[in-house]
Amino acid sequence: MELRVKVGRVEDMEKSEPVSPTGQYFNSSVLSVSVMSVLEFENPIDDSSSLALINNVFLPINTRFSSIMVDGKDGEKHWKRVEVKVEDHITVPNFPKGLSLKSYDNYFNDYLSKIATNPLPQTKPLWEVHIIKYPTSNASGSVVFKLHHALGDGFSLMGALLSCLQRADNPSLPLTFPNFQKSGKVSDPEINKRLIPQALSGAINTVLDFGWSVLKSSFLEDSQTPIRSGKDGVEFRPINIMTMTFSLDQIKKIKCSLQVTINDVVTGMIFLGTRLYMEATNDEAKNANATALVLLNTRSIGGYKSVDEMVQNQEAQIQWGNQFGFMHVSLPELSRYEKSLNTLKFVQETQSVIKRKRNSSAVYLTGMLLESVRKYRGSEATAGYIHSTLKNSSMTVSNMIGPLEKMALVNQPIKGLYFMVVNVPQSLTVTIMSYMDQLRVAVGMEKGLIDPVKFKICTEKAFNMMFNAAVEPR
């Protein structure tokens, strides 16, 4: 029997809201970027309540989940409410029965690559759910949400996903998240003496960073390396998605040793692992020009609220959308940090570069530039500029905050979760997400170019080098 979800009265369906500029960039003839979130379950999946869950919990979160993107009379795109046939958005694949976990790993990875490259149909709301009822090395079953980036950024989409979940220990209690709010003002008699030099430094950094960002987006292209093929249409090529898990306690020890942030440690680990991979693949290319786009959340809030606040609170609803920026960060060279005793300097240099770039307004000037291009040349031209920005760099790094407690979906415990941004014109994408006391790193890489096993070995080697150097007595 068909289940059709009525999302409103007929007159409500005729109403529409404008698509944000960023939403139009991400769903254009030049770009069509999506986010895949993977939930890993401890036990075999019971999907008997999936239709009701999507109908009663997922769809009401935001009207965009019940809308399609259409061209408006004003020439701009709009979200138009439609009637949703839920089962058209759910897929339950069939794999051969009785295989080994390694074989199911291969089937699962191939399936992820397939749905990553398949475009979402524009004739229905831009999301889909895949329920994989076969075990892998990481889970007894998995659920994959694929959501178009035009619907919102990682913060918005992850908030929507978490709204469908509960605490495994007590569903009546809300999920909680690490508090990354900035501390209050610090009393410092020397603070006024530092304000002017910091303001001057920030102004200089803004000019340099913004100028370099424009050049990188327009003319300066990274070299072809073991992590960048530089091919046209790389976003349509098959990918491998590999994940790694690291202990947050160990990362915090490195953090305390260097007196930096967790993000600094993780970014340094990713950069060092990438350089080690480049060296292991082609020694001559180990220090080739390689630039990463590090994504930043530009919201005025420091972290997640509770799930209820994120969905129902007016402030949280205002925060919905694509509110982020990016920084061009060159990967530090490897030659100066070959010895294990000096590996922490690699992290410190990474932290220094990112800190300097944060002390500038280049991210906001880039946003103003994109708006100017949109105003005078249109959304398609702006999407082309963003495509060039991505294609000319070597990799993207983004991170999300996950809950502190174990989660469950309809009383089914979730062992792990991660996400991946797909259909990006790059050969390498790295995403990071915390969950309980672990950090999950997912790596999307162009199939046939980057070796997943070797890249994992190099990244884990980088982490071990950093940890050993951090805990050694000085």
Residue finishing a domain among 152, 167, 182: 167
CATH number at residue 132: 3.30.559.10
> What whole-number distance in Å separates Cα of residue 128 and Cα of residue 138?
22
Q: Is 133 found in the same domain as 220? A: no
Q: Is 386 found in the same domain as 326? A: yes
Q: Is 198 found in the same domain as 160? A: no
| pLDDT tens-digit series, residues 82-92 | 999 999 999 99
The answer to whether 343 and 337 are in contact (CB under 8 A) is: yes
Q: Is 302 found in the same domain as 161? A: no
To the nearest whole number, what is the mean pLDDT of the chain? 83
Q: Is the pLDDT of residue 263 over 80?
A: yes
Q: Is 351 found in the same domain as 295? A: yes
By residue range, what is the domain housing residue 131? 12-167
* Region of poorest pLDDT, from 67-81, 391-405, 407-421: 67-81
For residue 172, being part of any structural domain is answered with no
**DSSP letter for each residue of 76-94:** SEEEEE--EEGGGGEE---
For residue 404, being part of any structural domain is answered with no
For residue 318, being part of any structural domain is answered with yes
pLDDT of residue 278: 95
Phi and psi, residue 346, nearest 5°:
-65, -45
pTM above 0.85, yes or no: yes
Q: Summarize the confidence of residues 63-76 as an average pLDDT.
A: 86
Q: Is 201 found in the same domain as 137? A: no
Say how far residue 80 (Cα) sits from the centre of its chain: 27
Sequence-distant (≥ 6) Cβ neighbours of residue 103 within 8 angstroms: none
Q: Is 359 found in the same domain as 214? A: yes
Q: Is 77 found in the same domain as 217? A: no
Higher pLDDT: 84 or 376? It is 84
Q: Summarize the confidence of residues 176-203 as an average pLDDT.
A: 55
For residue 178, being part of any structural domain is answered with no
Q: Is 144 found in the same domain as 207? A: no
Q: Is the pLDDT of residue 202 over 70?
A: no
pLDDT of residue 195: 47
Q: Is 369 found in the same domain as 233? A: yes
- Using 50, 70 and 90 to split pLDDT, how confident is the model at 201? low
Element (H, E) at 243: strand 239-247
* Region of poorest pLDDT, from 246-250, 346-350, 426-430, 456-460: 346-350
pLDDT of residue 158: 81
Share of the chain above pLDDT 70, in %: 83
The answer to whether 41 and 402 are in contact (CB under 8 A) is: no
Residue finishing a domain among 134, 167, 200: 167
Q: Is 331 found in the same domain as 242? A: yes
The answer to whether 441 and 459 are in contact (CB under 8 A) is: yes
| pLDDT tens-digit series, residues 215-242 | 888 888 999 999 999 999 999 999 999 9
* Region of poorest pLDDT, from 7-11, 22-26, 155-159, 202-206: 7-11
For residue 416, being part of any structural domain is answered with no
Determine whether 304 is exposed, middle or buried from the number of CB atoms within 10 Å of its CB (0-12, 13-18, 19+).
buried
Our CA angle for 164, 170, 175, nearest 5°, is 50
pLDDT of residue 304: 44
Residue finishing a domain among 167, 200, 232: 167
Our CA angle for 440, 442, 444, nearest 5°, is 180
Sequence-distant (≥ 6) Cβ neighbours of residue 303 within 8 angstroms: 177, 178, 179, 180, 181, 401
Q: Is the pLDDT of residue 1 over 50?
A: no
Q: Is 461 found in the same domain as 333? A: yes
For residue 175, being part of any structural domain is answered with no
- Using 50, 70 and 90 to split pLDDT, how confident is the model at 5? very low
Sign of CA dihedral 56, 172, 441, 45: negative
For residue 99, being part of any structural domain is answered with yes
| Residue bearing tokens 């990463």 | 292
For residue 181, being part of any structural domain is answered with no
| pLDDT tens-digit series, residues 44-67 | 999 999 999 999 989 988 889 999
- Domain count of the chain? 2
Q: Is the pLDDT of residue 68 over 90?
A: yes
Higher pLDDT: 47 or 159? It is 47
Q: Is the pLDDT of residue 337 over 90?
A: no
| Residue bearing tokens 């020439």 | 75
- Using 50, 70 and 90 to split pLDDT, how confident is the model at 456? very high
Q: 217 vs 57, 130, 326, 385, CA distance in Å?
A: 40, 35, 12, 7
- Using 50, 70 and 90 to split pLDDT, how confident is the model at 344? confident
- Using 50, 70 and 90 to split pLDDT, how confident is the model at 364? confident
The answer to whether 328 and 369 are in contact (CB under 8 A) is: no
